[in-house]
Amino acid sequence: MLKFKNPERIATLETPFWYYDMDLFRRTVDAMVEASRKYGITVHYSIKANTEKRLVEIIKDRGIGIDCVSGNEVKWSIVNGVEPAGIVFAGVGKSDAEIVYAMKVGIGSFNCESLEELEIIESLAAKEGMRANVSLRINPEVDAKTHKFITTGLEMDKFGIPRRFIQKAIDILRKCPHLTFKGLHFHIGSQITDVENVFANECRSAKAIIDIFEQEGIMVENVDLGGGLGIDYHNPDSHAIPEFDLWFRTLRENLPLRLGQHLHVEPGRSVVGQCVSLISRVILVKEGEKKNFVILDTGMNDLLRPALYGAYHKIENLDGKGRELRLYDIAGPICESADVLAEDRVLPETRRGDLIAIRSTGAYGSVMSSSYNMRTPAYSVFSD
């Protein structure tokens, strides 16, 4: 059950809001940094998961780099003091303005996702009289065994350069004087829970692709294996800190590195997912024809994941202690049938005004929210 550091103060606040457990966030970052040092891995926080300024500042203070997918994410990282050299920039469609901006601030690497993009960056760099650092994001054709919408490394996915174009990519690199080849990039998907098997498969595929470059006499200095480490949505308290050690060990054991070769990762969800809960109040409990509905003052406009992916988030009635258990659907106020946060959940008998915590909403929560139905989006509250 979620515990607030300052419950009296919390009880006076308007809902809905995102409650940041800053202590847990710091402990999570510490655990990640410790494991990354142990295995000699460079981390770039995937800022798309949560762009909150206070988190970015802590990430920056620990010297962690950032993985971006838009010019504005690059800009936001720079504004918050992140070293440009630690920034990597992926995405299947970077605009000319985004590319020129990122090139001028001197990011560590563009993770290029197509042959077409390589040629665009070359021509923009030539026009600016600059050189651009590029890595090739290759589609490794590895199944992440996760939700279809968050799988990125299969033949049918739009991401990365298809394996059959690797030779062509090498030919383009050789004839582009304004591109500096930095390495290879892979990312197979998100919320991966079969850590040992899935990431070992990713390593095997990466190894085979690195071999192709080496056979061509090209040294691959940086190998970026992306993000994807899953979190335990069912047990946020007993598994508050994800298994960074297991993930990094799996990568190191399955990908032999040459001298001078560096391993990078881009975790998002695992860094921040468990550190935030969406706090809401019950507007009313509605008796339906077949079901009983708890109607909250938050919904899919704040937290889209259940509607979009059928995602599970643990829901707790913080005021329900000692009451009998009942079965409910938990829904929001939005005029959409998909605005159901959870179906068939057992909760203590729930009443108008009860405080509800929707757990594990730190990653892809606030960043995917909207003001649909002209609702005021949830705001942020920090435990400290």
Site for ligand LLP in 196-255 (CB under 6 A): 226-229
Phi, psi (degrees; rounded to nearest 5) at 352: -50, 130
Strands (E), the chain: 17-20, 41-46, 65-68, 87-89, 109-112, 132-137, 179-185, 222-224, 262-265, 276-287, 292-296, 315-317, 325-331, 340-348, 355-358, 379-382
Instruction: Choose, by CB under 6 A, the member of 364, 366, 375, 378 that binds ligand LLP.
Output: 364
Residue with smaller CB distance to ligand LLP, 306 or 320: 306
Which range in 51-59, 101-109, 186-194, 315-323 contacts ligand LLP by CB under 6 A? 186-194
Tell me: does residue 150 bind ligand LLP (CB under 6 A): yes
Residue with smaller CB distance to ligand LLP, 73 or 329: 73
Instruction: Choose, by CB under 6 A, the member of 31, 47, 87, 90 that binds ligand LLP.
Output: 90
Q: Is 341:330 a contact under the CB 8 Å cutoff? A: yes
- DSSP 8-state code for residue 164: G
Tell me: does residue 132 bind ligand LLP (CB under 6 A): no
Tell me: does residue 160 bind ligand LLP (CB under 6 A): no
Tell me: does residue 269 bind ligand LLP (CB under 6 A): yes
Give the integer Cα–Cα distance in Å for 338 and 93. 29
Instruction: Choose, by CB under 6 A, the member of 109, 114, 190, 360 that binds ligand LLP.
Output: 190
* Smallest distance, ligand LLP to C-beta of residue 320, A: 27
Angle (nearest 5°) at CA 48 between 302 and 45: 130
Instruction: Choose, by CB under 6 A, the member of 266, 302, 316, 339 that binds ligand LLP.
Output: 266
Tell me: does residue 313 bind ligand LLP (CB under 6 A): no
CA atoms within 13 A of residue 247's CA, in its CB half-sphere:
29
Tell me: does residue 320 bind ligand LLP (CB under 6 A): no
Which range in 52-60, 185-193, 240-248, 370-378 contacts ligand LLP by CB under 6 A? 185-193
The count of residues in the chain is 384
Instruction: Choose, by CB under 6 A, the member of 178, 187, 313, 314 that binds ligand LLP.
Output: 187
Contact set with ligand LLP (CB under 6 A): 46, 49, 67, 90, 150, 187, 190-191, 226-229, 266-270, 305, 309, 363-364
